[in-house]
Amino acid sequence: MDLDLDLDLDLDLDLDLDLDLDLDLDLDLDLDLDLDLDLVNILKYFSEELKVISSFLDHIWSHLYFKKTFRK
């Protein structure tokens, strides 16, 4: 699998994926993976950022739910 990743400052991602898969009848799967370490680090970073955003949205949701429930 060849991955080309272009990052702009506005976080637009352009991914070009080329997959070559060889499947046998006994479901053996041969993959040729060439992942660049920089790409892996970028994906880990975005994964961590999404966790932070998710936690923040959960906090806001619980705060709004609390206000609505106990406002009466």
pTM > 0.85: yes or no: no
Q: What is the mean pLDDT of the chain?
A: 67
Q: What is the percent of the chain where pLDDT is above 90?
A: 0
- Give the pLDDT mean for 54-68: 83
> Model confidence over 17-44: pLDDT tens digits?
555 555 554 444 444 455 566 777 788 8
Q: Let me know the angle formed at the C-alpha of 42 by 36 and 21, rounded to the nearest 5 degrees.
A: 45
Tell me, what's the pLDDT at 25? 47
- The per-residue b/e assignment along 8-17, b for 16 or more CB within 10 angstroms, e otherwise, is eeeeeeeeee
| Local structure of 10: helix, strand or coil | coil
* Domain ranges for the chain: 2-69
Looking at per-residue confidence, does 67 or 2 come out higher?
67
